[in-house]
Structure 1
Amino acid sequence: MSKSGVTPWWKALRIRPEILNASGSIADVQMSLYHAVYGTGEQRPQYADAAYYGEITHPTGTLTDLLAQIAIRLGGGSDYTKSPYALLRLDQGMGGGKSHACIGAYHLASDPVQLAKTDIGRSIFQQAENILGRALPKNLNNPHVVVLPCDNMTPGVTTEEHDGPAATNLYERFLWRLFQGDFSRYDAYRKHFSNLAKISEAIQSLGRPVLIIVDEIMNYFGNGLDGVGNETLRPQDQAFMRALLDAVTKTPHTAMLAVMIASDKDSLSLEPAGTRRRADLERLLDRNGKRVGVHENEDFAAILRRRIFTKAPKSEVMDATVRGYKEAMENGPWKTKVFDQLHAPWTANFADEVARTYPFHPQLMHMAEHEWANRAGFQKVRSTIRVFAATVYALQQRGKMGKWAPHLIGLGDLPLSNAQVREAIIGSGLITDTKTQNNYRSLAQNDIVGVNDTSGTARLMDTARAADSKALWHHSNPRAAERAATAVFLTSIVSGRSQGRRGATDAEVKAATAVADPAYMYADADAIISELTDPETGLVSIEVTPGKKGQPIRYFLSTEQTLLMLQRAMRDTITDAERDAAIADFAERLTDTGPFDRKQFVRASKDGQSPLEVLAGAGIDDARVSRLVVLDPVQFTLRNGADRETREAIQAAVGLGADRLPTRWASSVVFVVANTQQRHAARRVATHYLAAERVLGVQETQDDADIRAKATAEHNEAKRSLEDHIKRAFQHVLFLAQPDEDAPRVVDEVTFGDKTETALFGTTVWKALVEKERAFDQGTFTAKTLLHNLRESDYGRPLDELRDSFWNTPRLPLLHGGQDDLRQALFDAVRLGLLRIVNSEDEEVAVTGVSEINLSSQRLRLGKPLPAIDEDAPSDDDNTSPGPESSPGGENTTEQNQETSDTEEPDAPEEKQLAFSVIQSMLNNTGNADALSQLFRELYQLVDNDDVSFLQGNIQIVVKAHAADALAERVRELGSSVQVRDL
């Protein structure tokens, strides 16, 4: 029992084992007379057994009457003529039950006793008794059956097992089957292929009733008879069939059942000769026989129930189901605005209709019987059985797993997420051409429900509603949007409904969502329709026709896809993970190294690791390499108050904070991080890009040159837009800094505000670092610059330590050219006498070229230049100094010596380096203010006189608020960055 107290159909009915074993598929729904008669082993179907055939066959009026007429003709004795037609013709189109009727006739003649024990057999014998006024013999006087399955016979090519060793034409094959291998009798009649009397004589010679079944005549007499190339065979076969059609009508206790699809229903394309043969046979069949049907459309429900289920439902189950639905149908807006507006007979006789159609809703069965069955391409019984069998199996599985399934399977309950159901509908013949089939297949998966039952616009609406849990009825109707959309789908694939209108009326769609729960009200159904038709978030393919002049609103799913429709459909298939992965891929590809030695993209964790854990395992601490490290915006962003974990992870990665990571080369790593708000914009564009990419791959785009051209242009534009948004998103650059040797190490930051700048470009980042004095621009690291950046402690250090300091000491800016810049600066300094390269004994090492400076050496060290030596000064060993008279030439050389001393004295240095710090409080201290003013005036004078060749400094100054902006502007005019914050 369900929560409503009603036993659900999937518990009240048993699906046939063969359907369960095939997971909802009916392998033998397309019955074969040939396999029923001649099949062996695996080729022998279950319905080859008369008992099983009777079990799955509902005794419809037309089928019962057809077989009763044959039974009278065979077993009626002298009253056989009470069945006026010996020749009966089935001319229905494909899937109309012709093979089923032929197999029934075969079982009736070959095993009448066994068939009589089944419902269909009892109905046949009862009908015959009603006509004759007496009972037929149970064995029908032991008739013989001759079967010519023309759909499995090739003209001129015989099978000895069935046709004997010598048969060539159709008449000889008929005789061999008639005489069951009696060669002497066969040989006596084989020459009389066109003799009506001899054919009749041959039939009567058996001394027992004969049933002749000729299946699919035109499969033999159509193009196949022309293709054999035997000019003798063609006229013989045609003459035999003409004679046979005449003979059976004149032969007592003989019946013939012929299958030949009417020309207006047959899709077989014939050559002119085949067309003439068809017309000739049509004329003879109409003259000698009677066209008979097998099923009426109203038989569908009973046929389906018999074919799919093993027994009929109990009346109390159906009565309880009806009561639940009628409560809504007979009251309030559901009655006046929905069911009264349908104007369908099943609404007035709902209880009787449910009893007839259970477990299918009368609304669904009404459409199958009165609309599907009238479609030219629809294969009636066969197609309906396939669709409904797959449906009940899929819904039963849901019910058995505790998931929701409807108490009556209605117009909106065919699960399009199930491949068998979807393909059974699409391949049923309701949709005629392949392109439209592909369009509706795509539409079903994208607009309604995906193959995984978790995607599709309508399905996502339902799952979102269930997560919200505000709807009181969502447990009893959890697929309301999907059901409404499916109802529109099923009515849309039937072109030209009543009065040529398309799609479903508003009342039809709402009726398809109804359930036996008063909590689900008319207003809820109205809200569902509003969601589905919303132009922004609803079904992309839905067309709404407003009601005019008393006509109802109609909804139609159009397959005339516009590019916008396809894109919207594809957007619904993009997952968050796919979107974020695309952003990461683009960011990694767009990152340009620039002056940095290496770029690295750190992917977000897929295993729930924290940002700190991700950076700890990323391997970013590389020796003597400047690194531009781009962090995946899925897990790392800044701003919007949600960046604490990102900042803490970066701090730890450069060796700061309580959770600091072991690192040696933190000074040479620069982190690039996306802005949180800009990430949101990039995500939106990424979804659009992925949708545009998927649109290019769908069949609808490939088949339409115009859509394909537009889709390609849209894809290219979406790609460009995504690249721009990703570049814009990466605004932030973070790095380790130490402005002063005595100051603590901190994580400094640069943010690009200009839309044209991006932190993904290494060159742009490098220039920002130059402005922050954390990097040297190209060509600016000279010998003098090197000296400015050296400390007293650097002298005497091995060259490898000096080299490493430019990558692990945050006070030293990064080198644009890396080790090459350092090597060149050292060489130039040595050449200019500003430095020496010495060994461990402080002995100078000669350097004649840049390549001779081995930066990896621990033996070579950095030495200060030696002081200049006066070669004319007296040495310590001299005891006397020459007087004026002792100068060469005896001249007074005092003045000369003075001039010599002036000219030979070593050159004074052209420049001197000053390094100082200024930390002063200016509050109430006029002395300090005057001294500081004087200092800056002196500095201004030096700059103004071009006496300054290099200036490096970091000034922090607290000024009055009104003066801050002007001072900041002056700094920016120098091309330097400035940070201003309120105190």
Structure 2
Amino acid sequence: MKQSGATPWWKALRIRPEILDASGSIADVQMSLYHAVYGSGDQRPQYADASYYGEITHPTGALTDLLARIAIRLGGGSDYTKVPALLRLDQGMGGGKSHACIGAYHLAAAPLNLAKTDVGKAVLRQAESILSRPLPKNLDNPHVVVLPCDNMTPGATVVENDGPTKSLYERFLWRLFTGDYSRYSAYREHFSNVSKISEAIGSLNRPVLIIVDEIMNYFGNGLDGVNDEALTAQDQAFMRALLDAVTKTPHTAMLAVMISSDKDSISLSPEGQRRRLDLERLLERNGKPVGAHENDDFAAILRRRIFTQPPAKEVVDATVREFKEAMDNGPWKNKVYEGLHAPWTVNFAEEVSRTYPFHPQLMHMAENEWANRTGFQKVRSTIKVFAATVYALQQRGKANSWAPLLIGPGDLPLSNTQVRESIIGSGLISDTKTQNNYRSLAQNDIVGVRDSSGTARLLDVNRGTDGGALWHHSNPRAAERAATAIFLTSIVSGRSQGRRGATDAEVKAATAVPDPAYMFADADAVLKDLTDPDTGLVSIEVTPGQKGQQTRYFLSTEQTLLMLQRAMRDTITDAERDTVIAEFAEQLTDTGPFDRKLFVRASVDRLSARDVLASAGIDDARVSRLVVLDPAQFTLRNGADRVTREAVQAAVGLGADKLPARWASSAVFAVANTQQRHAARRLATAYLAAERVLGVQETQDDADMKAKAIAERNDAKRNLETTIKRAFQHILFLAQPDDDATRGVDEVTFDDKTETALHGAIVWKAIVEKGKAFDQGTFSAKALLHNLRENDYGRPLDELRDAFWNTPRLPLLHGGQSDLRQALFDAVQTGLLRVVDSEGEEVAVTGVSEINLSSQRLRLGKRMAPKTDDETQPGPADSNAEPGPVPGTDRPGVPGSPGKPENGPLAPQEKQIAFSVTQSMLNNTGNAEDLSQLFRQLYDIIDRGDVSFLQASFQMVVNAQSADGLAERIRELGSPVHVRDL
């Protein structure tokens, strides 16, 4: 990058403190005469002080001449007749009328303070040039009467300002005599008498300035609303008389503000219109229309209003040299600057000196195009736009981000809300619908509010990421600048010769920087990127040049639904896309048999996967949890899952970096597939774009487009939900097949497209098949005994309970504690187990509710051995009694029965057998025969009813035809089966 020799403007100039304090906003840009005169406390603005007013006011020719005439009329002695008594400001909104009125007020109310400022000195010099002699600086101590008609209600007065008055004439007298009731009463009846009004004014024996602001606010619809014919007639008569009286009264001046009818959009009733015409006629007869500013004053007004001091000449000269180097040579000169046909290109140095820190191209646009637009509020709107712009760009410069040496038409940062809204609300765009359209276009097609989205902005960002452009660091916003320049010309319809948009030369000039690395060909490439039909601006219309005319570029708001969707897709950030996937996954998760679902969000603070799980609250006591991991940070397969696996291992208490995890056994992790995540991300972007299209104003205003947008949003939502469900095809859980096995993380993958790890019931079925859980209704007393170990006897019931949630070898229970309580009760009732106290004494249990799983006193005891023959021999009284059943069996306790040996220890009633088989069956008839015999024997045992509990899982590779029949038979048993083609 070429090192600039010019001091950047954000270092050379100081923005006014009040603008910095308001972050670029100028709260008092719309000045109020009423608040300047009558405001107090928070309602008294800074410009109510004459010194501050003079500090922020540039002495333009028109304003200086206006105030000089008033000064002569007030303090010119016998020469007061050399200037007219009645002056009228008739400009439209934002033309500086209120600013001029406040200047006139300070001129008369605080002449000595104003005389110390630049504008005060200029006024006195101008008056002296007219009279050929100086005026007294105090202007002979004038009195000021202010009638702010935009803050007056006919017939209703403000006591502190108006005392006992009612009519406009009475208010005038009260202000003229400063509340002197006796003098007020003496003239009160003479509202239409020109001589008496003149006499009243002359009775002060001092010059008098009368300022009547916004006359039509009072005489238009204001008088209609009062519905008092007498008051209306009196006020009209007074105003006629006053306009005549001021011309006849020495040392009296009147400044009236009444927008001319061709510039005023206010809607009036027939009576109001009649009153307007009457006042127009009187003002034209008695007064002289004057202006406050001219268009070419904009630059000086802006600099004075925004900055505390003008720039140093050497800074401006150095900046000019930077730009002139490219402007005077090669294609930039021949194909760009000469093609602009603008006067500022000829007198560039002089124009930069006038407009600095704004580029003459931007100021030329403001002065010659914006200012002539009906509805544009000239000075007011321009100040708001430019103040917000310099603040935003200064912040970039101070943060060592790129900012232009001169602020051109491409440098108004549309990502800044104040800048964007100041432009849109300036009056350049006439109707609300078009304003909304261009607001949406600016955010989507150019640059988003976070400065990280928008088609043009992303073109620049991607160019910087690719590192392909040598000039990127000196012009990192080239595409955004070009698009912004087109935007500014597009909102001003009917430019030169009625053409729309910007010329090729205008757009390229807006991208220029004083760096020889950025050549004309680069500017051409930037424009080609912007107009690319696939990746460029969706709203751009290109009109090829014909018959010597240049190509023109225009941003159209007549967008199709497809254009809007594409524009919106470019606004979706990776974070937004991943967030919506996470939100949908969380909503789609169905707990099923699990006690709780827990969604673990990805870290936005760049925490490691392990640390995210450490802070997620996964380890929860005595509840089974379906833990869904955010795909933004956790996925499996595709060679990119090491981090996820290690984090889950740590979360369940395994590995070198393990976390404390007491209840890890009862957590099952649902994890997305890496490849499926790609598809979900693509569809999430489409869904968010469809959702945002619905929110833009142009969609809401078009019924057909809205209906189509809703349908497409709904389709996008369904597709996204289906894809997210499919993406979650893995589960991980802590497993320990038997006591001697090592604990580890087991995994299940759902290959069937109808299955998802977000469905708790499906996940539960999968872990049932893995022996990790019991299905509904299968955890019986026999199943309980099957899972007990010798050291479980004598344990308190609360420890036994906890073991089913924190011991990996014990399967999870479908019904949780209720299943365990019922199984214990059934085991006790059938004599398989006992409940004992801490002393080993049996505790009677007569109901399920008496199995207190929270008890540390109650413990699990083995069943009691049956009594011996001597102990059970019936006595005389019961010699005919039949033998009862042996506990734990349905067989009677008769001697010699298998359940009761005549001598020796108690014979076991049942035994547990656990085995696993892994055999290759190919070309091995011996193995096949042996396994067949094994399964036949197992069949015989089951057929005889000798099996009281069976828990088994099989995985085998079977002939395709046999597999279908076997799978059907398994389904008939109500068991899930997975069949996969090989």
Pairwise TM-score range, normalised by the shorter structure: 0.7 to 0.9
Relative distance call for 1:797 and 1:937 in structure 2 (3 A) is: farther
Q: Is contact 2:54-2:120 (8 Å) kept?
A: yes
2:285 partner letter: R
* CA offset digits 1:810-844 (Å, max 9, x no partner): 677666566777888899999999x7879999999
Q: Which secondary structure state, in structure 1, belongs to the residue aligned with residue 289 of structure 2?
A: strand
Partner of 1:352: 350
- Aligned pairs (5 A) from 1:54-73: 54-70=54-70
Tell me the CA shift for residue 454 of structure 1.
4.9
1:235 to 233, 236, 240: 233
1:395 to 388, 393, 396: 393
Relative distance call for 1:867 and 1:580 in structure 2 (3 A) is: farther
Tell me the CA shift for residue 444 of structure 1.
4.0
- Counterparts of 1:267 and 1:907 in 2: how far apart (Å)? 111
1:549 partner letter: Q
Relative distance call for 1:208 and 1:607 in structure 2 (3 A) is: closer
- Counterparts of 1:266 and 1:311 in 2: how far apart (Å)? 36
1:719 aligns with 2:717: yes
- Counterparts of 1:691 and 1:498 in 2: how far apart (Å)? 37
Partner of 1:544: 541
- Counterparts of 2:464 and 2:130 in 1: how far apart (Å)? 61
Q: Is contact 2:96-2:380 (8 Å) kept?
A: yes
Q: Is contact 1:868-1:906 (8 Å) kept?
A: no
Relative to structure 2, which stretch is displaced further, 966-975 or 471-480? 966-975
2:927 to 929, 932, 943: 932
2:238 partner letter: F
Q: Which secondary structure state, in structure 1, belongs to the residue aligned with residue 218 of structure 2?
A: helix
2:275 to 268, 274, 277: 277
- Counterparts of 2:921 and 2:175 in 1: how far apart (Å)? 125
2:516 partner letter: P
Relative distance call for 1:708 and 1:966 in structure 2 (3 A) is: closer
- Aligned pairs (5 A) from 1:180-329: 191-196=189-194, 199=197, 211-249=209-247, 255-329=253-327
- Aligned pairs (5 A) from 1:340-489: 340-454=338-452, 456-466=454-464, 469-489=467-487
Partner of 2:631: 633
- Aligned pairs (5 A) from 1:159-198: 169-171=167-169, 173-174=171-172, 191-196=189-194
Q: Which secondary structure state, in structure 1, belongs to the residue aligned with residue 216 of structure 2?
A: helix
1:671 partner letter: F
Taking structure 1 as the reference length, what is the TM-score of the superposition? Answer: 0.79
Relative distance call for 1:324 and 1:620 in structure 2 (3 A) is: closer
Tell me the CA shift for residue 866 of structure 1.
11
Relative distance call for 1:247 and 1:753 in structure 2 (3 A) is: same
Relative to structure 2, which stretch is displaced further, 466-475 or 905-914? 905-914
Relative distance call for 1:144 and 1:726 in structure 2 (3 A) is: same
Tell me the CA shift for residue 363 of structure 1.
1.0
Q: Is contact 1:51-1:115 (8 Å) kept?
A: yes
Partner of 1:92: 91
Relative distance call for 1:454 and 1:603 in structure 2 (3 A) is: closer
Tell me the CA shift for residue 93 of structure 1.
1.0
Structure 1 gaps, min length 5:
872-903
Relative to structure 2, which stretch is displaced further, 692-701 or 836-845? 836-845
Q: Which secondary structure state, in structure 2, belongs to the residue aligned with residue 374 of structure 1?
A: coil
Q: Is contact 2:105-2:144 (8 Å) kept?
A: no
- Counterparts of 2:218 and 2:918 in 1: how far apart (Å)? 110
Tell me the CA shift for residue 731 of structure 1.
0.8
Tell me the CA shift for residue 679 of structure 1.
2.1
Q: Which secondary structure state, in structure 1, belongs to the residue aligned with residue 292 of structure 2?
A: coil
* CA offset digits 1:7-35 (Å, max 9, x no partner): 22233334445545555444443344445
Q: Which secondary structure state, in structure 1, belongs to the residue aligned with residue 679 of structure 2?
A: helix
Partner of 2:861: 860
Partner of 2:682: 684
Taking structure 2 as the reference length, what is the TM-score of the superposition? Answer: 0.79
- Counterparts of 1:524 and 1:330 in 2: how far apart (Å)? 18
1:760 partner letter: L
Q: Is contact 1:795-1:862 (8 Å) kept?
A: no
Relative to structure 2, which stretch is displaced further, 604-613 or 97-106? 604-613
Tell me the CA shift for residue 510 of structure 1.
2.4
Relative distance call for 1:94 and 1:943 in structure 2 (3 A) is: same
Partner of 2:731: 733
Q: Is contact 2:834-2:860 (8 Å) kept?
A: no
Relative to structure 2, which stretch is displaced further, 645-654 or 939-948? 939-948
Q: Is contact 2:631-2:671 (8 Å) kept?
A: yes
Q: Which secondary structure state, in structure 2, belongs to the residue aligned with residue 371 of structure 1?
A: helix
Structure 2 gaps, min length 5:
873-894, 900-907, 971-975
- Counterparts of 2:556 and 2:865 in 1: how far apart (Å)? 86
- Counterparts of 2:850 and 2:210 in 1: how far apart (Å)? 109
1:493 to 478, 491, 494: 491
Q: Is contact 1:968-1:978 (8 Å) kept?
A: no
Partner of 2:10: 10
Tell me the CA shift for residue 90 of structure 1.
1.9
RMSD over aligned CA atoms reads 5.2
* CA offset digits 1:447-469 (Å, max 9, x no partner): 54455555555445545545555
Relative to structure 2, which stretch is displaced further, 29-38 or 485-494? 29-38
2:478 partner letter: A
Relative distance call for 1:499 and 1:773 in structure 2 (3 A) is: same
* CA offset digits 1:112-164 (Å, max 9, x no partner): 677666554555555556656x435446984845534242444445678776x
Relative distance call for 1:318 and 1:816 in structure 2 (3 A) is: closer
2:492 partner letter: V
Relative distance call for 1:972 and 1:124 in structure 2 (3 A) is: same
Tell me the CA shift for residue 637 of structure 1.
1.9
Relative distance call for 1:775 and 1:411 in structure 2 (3 A) is: same
Q: Answer with 1 or 2: which has the greater Rg.
A: 1
Relative distance call for 1:817 and 1:217 in structure 2 (3 A) is: closer
1:504 partner letter: A
Identity %: 73
Q: Is contact 1:836-1:865 (8 Å) kept?
A: no
Tell me the CA shift for residue 723 of structure 1.
2.3
Relative distance call for 1:646 and 1:212 in structure 2 (3 A) is: closer
- Counterparts of 1:622 and 1:207 in 2: how far apart (Å)? 92
1:101 aligns with 2:96: no
* CA offset digits 1:644-693 (Å, max 9, x no partner): 23334444556665566677776665433221111232233334445555
Partner of 1:892: none
Tell me the CA shift for residue 695 of structure 1.
5.7
- Counterparts of 2:517 and 2:603 in 1: how far apart (Å)? 45
1:100 partner letter: H
- Counterparts of 1:254 and 1:853 in 2: how far apart (Å)? 105
1:761 to 759, 781, 802: 759
* CA offset digits 1:281-323 (Å, max 9, x no partner): 1122223333232322112122222333344333332222111
Tell me the CA shift for residue 479 of structure 1.
3.1
Partner of 1:29: 29
- Counterparts of 1:791 and 1:36 in 2: how far apart (Å)? 90
- Counterparts of 1:418 and 1:210 in 2: how far apart (Å)? 47
Tell me the CA shift for residue 276 of structure 1.
0.9
* CA offset digits 1:754-794 (Å, max 9, x no partner): 2211122233233334555555555667788889x689979
- Counterparts of 1:41 and 1:809 in 2: how far apart (Å)? 73
- Counterparts of 1:430 and 1:830 in 2: how far apart (Å)? 88
Relative distance call for 1:374 and 1:968 in structure 2 (3 A) is: same
Q: Which secondary structure state, in structure 2, belongs to the residue aligned with residue 232 of structure 1?
A: helix
1:30 partner letter: Q
Relative to structure 2, which stretch is displaced further, 822-831 or 635-644? 822-831
2:321 partner letter: R
Tell me the CA shift for residue 641 of structure 1.
1.0
- Counterparts of 1:295 and 1:361 in 2: how far apart (Å)? 21
Q: Is contact 1:795-1:861 (8 Å) kept?
A: no
* CA offset digits 1:74-133 (Å, max 9, x no partner): 6667766654x543322111221223333444555666677666554555555556656x
- Counterparts of 2:72 and 2:228 in 1: how far apart (Å)? 40
Q: Is contact 1:74-1:140 (8 Å) kept?
A: no
